[in-house]
Structure 1
Amino acid sequence: MTAPALLADNGDAEGTNNTLHEPISPDGTPEPGKLYEVPARNGRAVRVAAGQTIRVINTHGTQVCDLWAFNADNLNEFMSMEHLRAWIDRINPLPGDALVTNHRRPILTLTTDTSPGVHDTLIAPCDIYRYRTLGVEGYHDSCADNLRLALKAIGLRQHEVPGSLNLWMNIPFDIDGGIKWLPTVSRAGDYVEFRAEMDSIVVMSACPQDIVAINSRAPMPVHFSVA
């Protein structure tokens, strides 16, 4: 009998940056109300208990933040963009919408959005392969690696990189299905708030993309707090 094939594993980073060495705490537990920075091109992971609210701030207004959420008790259950779109019957969530997992259960609820509401659920997190197609030689920071490194920094690991909710990412599409890669329309200080519907690990990446225009080609930090 042929042995079953091993599950593919995509949990190892292609490189490293300060994400690995600068967690907000050893296990990702935050101080309530404290303002934390996600430095430009880096990521951070934070534990958000059921009922708590995480606020993510576009401090400079020009920055995309890739965001993931995982069931803290089972990282194989995670916020899923394809399941979300089926759940809300729209491309992007609005305040009041539940964001669901690959098990079709609410994990976060979007409660507040002070920005114009232009976000993205279609585009995969950037990775080393994306940068190679854009002509980059050698290593380039990426949202995929920021996820892997942020989890590793608090002693966790996920075997895959799920699709992310790309906060403030401006990817309009036309009637023929063509898309454009445009700067954000957010303003400095705009924020979103999510209420956790289960104990969660939330990971944020201040997207390192500096080749196409989504971050105005100048990646900047974002900030967050948990209350």
Structure 2
Amino acid sequence: MEQVPARRGRAVRLKQGQAIRIVNTHGTQVVDTWAFNADDPTEFMSMEHLHASLGSIFPSRGDALYSNRRRPILMLEEDTSPGRHDTVIAACDVHRYQGLGCTEYHDNCTDNLHAALAMVGFVRTETPSPLNLWMNIPVAADGKIAWGEPLSKPGDHVLLRAVIDCVVVMSACPQDMIPINGADCTPVEVHYEVVG
């Protein structure tokens, strides 16, 4: 298995029909996840379009994950976790950490996305909202949200299958100021493998 180091990102090219298994090795790590059409970077997995297509903010096993052109780009084929993944919160960035009080640079998922894409020669400037695997953002009846700890356990995984040729990007979220990466607020590595 390959590793996404703590606080870093990785990009993987998938051919139509291939899949990627992403493993929450320690059970506490959020993984911001994106997918782009390998032939057209202006088409990407879109949380806004996903909401409309699924009629839900929580994708589950068997669901198609839709692009901004309202067609499936990935399928969520397996999910051994309780299935709580966030589709509401934008990727962290330097501005988010400034708002939390950081006065120096802080690793962030937005920069991880662009660094990972550059490593595979797939340049893009915009940052779509990610599918935040294992990120637990409880939503109350009045619409208020909270920053919860992951409900996953060590070794939980998802299997995402490519419906079209695509580039999948994963960022082991560097958030260490609120407990989305566990009560101890410590980002850790996750693992992945391409299958099929």
Give the TM-score band, short-chain normalised: over 0.9
Give the letter for the 1:92 counterpart.
Answer: F
Which residue of structure 2 lines up, in the alignment, with residue 158 of structure 1? Answer: 124
Q: 1:201 aligns to what SS in structure 2? A: strand
1:220 aligns with 2:182: no
Which residue of structure 2 lines up, in the alignment, with residue 95 of structure 1? Answer: 61
CA distance in 2, matches of 1:156, 1:95: 29
1:168 aligns with 2:134: yes
1:105 aligns with 2:71: yes
TM-score, normalising length from structure 1? 0.84
Q: Structure 1 unaligned runs (5+)?
A: 1-34
Which residue of structure 2 lines up, in the alignment, with residue 146 of structure 1? Answer: 112
Q: Relative to total residues, which structure has the larger strand share, 1 or 2?
A: 2
Which residue of structure 2 lines up, in the alignment, with residue 21 of structure 1? Answer: none
1:115 aligns with 2:81: yes
Which residue of structure 2 lines up, in the alignment, with residue 195 of structure 1? Answer: 161
1:207 aligned to which of 158, 162, 173 = 173
Greater radius of gyration (CA): 1
**How many residues in Structure 1 have an aligned counterpart in Structure 2?**
193
Give me the CA root mean square deviation: 0.6
CA distance in 2, matches of 1:116, 1:185: 7
Q: Structure 2 unaligned runs (5+)?
A: none
Report the identity percentage: 58
Give how far 1:162 is off. Answer: 0.2
Which residue of structure 2 lines up, in the alignment, with residue 130 of structure 1? Answer: 96
Give the letter for the 1:123 counterpart.
Answer: I
Q: Which runs of 4+ in 1 moved over 6 A?
A: none
CA distance in 1, matches of 2:122, 2:81: 32
Give the letter for the 1:133 counterpart.
Answer: G
Q: Please give the per-residue CA displacement for 1:158-198, whole angstroms capped at 9, x wherever unaligned.
A: 12000000000000011111111011010000000011000
TM-score, normalising length from structure 2? 0.97
CA distance in 2, matches of 1:145, 1:119: 21
CA distance in 1, matches of 2:150, 2:108: 18
Q: 1:86 aligns to what SS in structure 2? A: helix
CA distance in 2, matches of 1:155, 1:54: 19
1:66 aligns with 2:32: yes
CA distance in 1, matches of 2:48, 2:134: 18
